Chain A
Amino acid sequence: MRKFGALLKVSFWGMLYAMNLAGGSRKRRISGAGVLALAGGLMLMLSASYSFSFSAALAQQGAVDMLPVLMSLLAVILCAAFSLFGAQGILFSTRDMDLALSWPVPPLQLVVSRVLALYLENLFLLGVWMLPVWLAWMLQGGCMPAAFIALPVSVLLLAFLPCVLAMAVGFVLALVSARFQHNALLNNLLYLLLLAGIFAGSFSLQSQIFQVQSSFFTSWLMRPFLWFTGALKLQDVSLAALAAVCVLPFLLVAWLISRRYAAVLTLLASHRAHFDYRLTRQHSAGRMRALIGREFRRYFGISIYLFNTGIGLLLLAVGAIAAVLQRDQLQHLMAQFGSEAIPMTAALALTVGFILAMTQPTSCSISLEGEQLWIIKSAPLRPWELFGSKVGMQLILVFPVLAVCVPVMGWALGIPAAQNLALLAAAAAMAFCVAPMGLVVNLHFPKLDAPNPTVVVKQSAATLVGLLAGFALLLPGAVLYNLIPQALNGCGWLSAAAVLYLLAGVLFWRFLLTRGVSMLEEL
């Protein structure tokens, strides 16, 4: 047990270090704590808004006890989706493999100690998430205040569930991708498949979520969440059942992984270079093309980078296809609501704005250079070439999707052509603003010593601050809409927003070429 304790300690400190909560300078620790507080605050806000609206709706149906069931289910889905990428980075990282596998400890202890970081992350998110749930539930008379004492224990147990899901999926992905040469491509396809499954599941869940009498809520899939609710009501049997259903699968999956752990890590780390290349005449491509090509290779070569920063564009494309396929139903629905074209334009603008704020490869692009930053810093590059390649990659990625999806969605929603055009201009201007903004944020919050890309993309301050800054960019648009909603036939506020975003983009770019250069040199 002493060895296991030592492993847990190493894993714990490793997690704190990766999240900037330990080691390094005071500024670094403060920024780490700030990121954690921001993430917790966001989770709290999200949970509070859902909990209080759901609790009122459920109380009207006399089913207020379904609140913790629904909210814990949502929380586990959210945490599992978050942990999915983390599991591969934490559990199947081959970086310190030689060292770890040479230690005289059983593989099960190694696996469990490594999952600790994942478990603690889920525990934090679940704990924060369940606080407003418990409060809303209690205020609607679902439980007594004394039930609060059961909350920590129940959450401690429930936090194992998303770990089980993430570990199992991560193991399968590692096992499959380790056997193929083009594992980045395979990983991307598998993640795409998985995300499609999650979306399909979410839509199906959405259709059942308010039919509280549905048989879905008594099915075996929902048992852990029903037991969780029972445990919160201080029912000992429910607590015991919850413990069994959360901890036993965790140990079982950890044990199964540990049996093949060394083999999978070895396979992942094995040098599988193929000795069949024949050199032919090479061609020069030009500096900027080479730099942008490098950005794209990295983008499509790191699955978590691609999916974390590209999911918005994927959703926009899926939304555009769905809007075209269901155009008649959409227009019928809008006619029922009696909405004018302008509110629909505003709704679409808000949606596109949110997606653009989420699509920020640049906000972790410098951090992802990591230990390879020396290559770029020792190369004869002008600052605009390096920054331009990163901004250029993001714009090449975003512009075509916007150019196709925004007009298509506008057409499907019956938005007048002039407003549609103004919306496209505003969206393109915002994209132009977000790309350099991401780099500015990343220069202020760099993370070059991350053990793997997952830490950079998921846990770094730059990613979170970039996201929040992107959301903040929506505010001027909202203010303009409120001030001049009808100007120029509803195109005025969009045009003004476009000009504003363009100006902001130019300012961000100017910052990069002045202060940004010295900030990059300091890295």
Chain B
Amino acid sequence: MLSIEHFSKTYSGGKRAVDDLNLVVHAGEICGFIGHNGAGKTTTLRAVAGVISYTEGTIRVDGKDLHTNPVEAKKVMAFLPDNPDLYDYMKGIDYLNFIADLYDIPGDDRTRRIARYCDDFQITEALGSPIGSYSHGMKQKLALISALIRKPKLLILDEPFVGLDPQASHLLKGYLAELCAQGGAVFFSTHVLEVAQKLCHKVAIIQEGKLIRYGTMEEVVAGESLEEVFLRQTAGGADHA
């Protein structure tokens, strides 16, 4: 579903944020992406989502090259940044309809999906209010719902559990599992290693822009906890991040 080959990203100031990254996430897999602050996680996720440009490497989503066929690649994925800024001047329902229009979701389907996810996350009754009047958690839920209603084949999430209440976190985990069961894939970054260990089929550890460990969860942890593996693998790296 997602294939990243020799991806590198150097910012205009000369900082090499990601260096020769190779990674594959198959349909039905959840891949956790972990690393210190500044390790290159967000840069990678944003590049996969088509939010930042890149010149080195190849990123394919569902077989479509993000460089040569960006529109088709973006049609099958949904991206949620770590701190999603939404249009404060729109009402919640208008924002969901806006996203549904961009992804050509028919009226009946969008009504059913909006009803399901908004009811589950308990924000249906606030959909008539401007997003500017929402709390941080409500905005986070709305952004998440706007990603889920697209029924994406690939879901890219940057720190999705930050800011969510325990009930919403639980729901999200269920939705991620459901998406994978239906043949989708999830690629997400997190600092909550316990969640990553429980949820992910695969894990990728990045340090200073380089992938230092990647494989199935069983291969990577090999009977230890992910936290122990992560701390050992990245020992001394945090100072440079």
Contacts and interface: CB of A to CB of B under 8 A. Distances in A.
Interface of A: 25, 181, 184, 271-287, 289-291, 293-294, 297-298, 301-302, 370-375, 377-382, 518, 521-522
A281 B111 contact: yes
A275 B125 contact: yes
B102 A290 contact: yes
A273 to B, nearest CB: 4
A274 B135 contact: no
Contacts of A380: 70-75, 102-103
A370 B49 contact: no
A520 to B, nearest CB: 9
Contact of B129 (A272, A281, A375): A272
B53 A277 contact: no
24 contacts: A184-B89, A273-B133, A273-B138, A274-B126, A274-B128, A277-B93, A278-B125, A282-B96, A284-B107, A297-B87, A297-B94, A301-B88, A372-B85, A372-B86, A372-B87, A374-B46, A374-B79, A375-B86, A375-B99, A379-B99, A380-B70, A380-B72, A518-B53, A521-B53
Contacts of B85: 370-372, 374
Contact of A279 (B51, B72, B118): B118
Nearest to A271: B135
A297 B118 contact: no
Interface in B186-224: none
Given A286-B101, A290-B102, A297-B89, A378 B50 contact: yes
Contacts of A521: 53
Contacts of A184: 89
Contacts of A283: 107
A371 B92 CA distance: 18
B104 interface: yes
A382 B71 CA distance: 7
Given A277-B126, A282-B107, 20 more contacts: A271-B133, A271-B134, A273-B130, A276-B125, A279-B111, A279-B127, A282-B110, A284-B106, A284-B110, A287-B104, A290-B101, A293-B98, A297-B94, A301-B88, A301-B89, A372-B87, A374-B81, A378-B74, A379-B99, A380-B71
Contacts of B86: 372, 375
Contacts of B124: 277, 279
Given A273-B138, A274-B128, A290-B97, A377 B50 contact: yes
A273 B128 CA distance: 8
B93 A381 contact: no
- 7 nearest A-B pairs in the assembled complex, by CB-CB distance: A301-B89, A277-B128, A290-B101, A273-B129, A380-B74, A371-B85, A275-B125
A302 to B, nearest CB: 7
Contact of B98 (A275, A294, A382): A294
Contacts of B59: none
Contacts of B126: 273-275, 277
Interface residues of B, number: 54
B100 interface: yes
Which of A25, A271, A273, A297 gathers most chain B CB within 10 Å?
Answer: A273
A297 B134 contact: no
A284 B105 contact: yes
B89 A302 contact: yes
B24 interface: no
Contacts of B164: none
A518 B86 CA distance: 24
A373 B53 CA distance: 13
Given A184-B89, A273-B133, A380-B71, A279 B114 contact: yes
A277 B129 contact: yes
A285 B104 CA distance: 9
B238 to A, nearest CB: 26
B232 to A, nearest CB: 34
B118 A289 contact: no
B141 to A, nearest CB: 12
Nearest to B12: A25
B75 to A, nearest CB: 4
Contacts of A275: 125-126
A280 B110 CA distance: 11
A25 B14 CA distance: 13
Name the residue among B71, B78, B105 with the largest chain A CB count within 10 angstroms.
B71
Given A297-B90, A298-B89, A379 B101 contact: no
Contacts of A378: 49-51, 74, 78-79
Contacts of B135: 271, 273
A280 to B, nearest CB: 8
Contacts of A518: 53
B27 interface: no
A339 B128 CA distance: 58
Contacts of B168: none
A307 B207 CA distance: 49
Contacts of A277: 92-93, 124-129
Contact of A282 (B72, B75, B81, B100): B100
Interface string B136-178: 0010000000000000000000000000000000000000000
Nearest to A276: B125
Nearest to A284: B107
B194 to A, nearest CB: 28
Nearest to A522: B53
A287 B53 contact: no
A42 B129 CA distance: 43
A276 B98 CA distance: 21
B23 interface: no
B147 to A, nearest CB: 10
Contacts of B107: 281-284
Nearest to A288: B101
Which of A276, A297, A382 has the most chain B CB atoms closer than 10 A to its own CB?
Answer: A297
Contacts of B70: 380
B21 interface: no
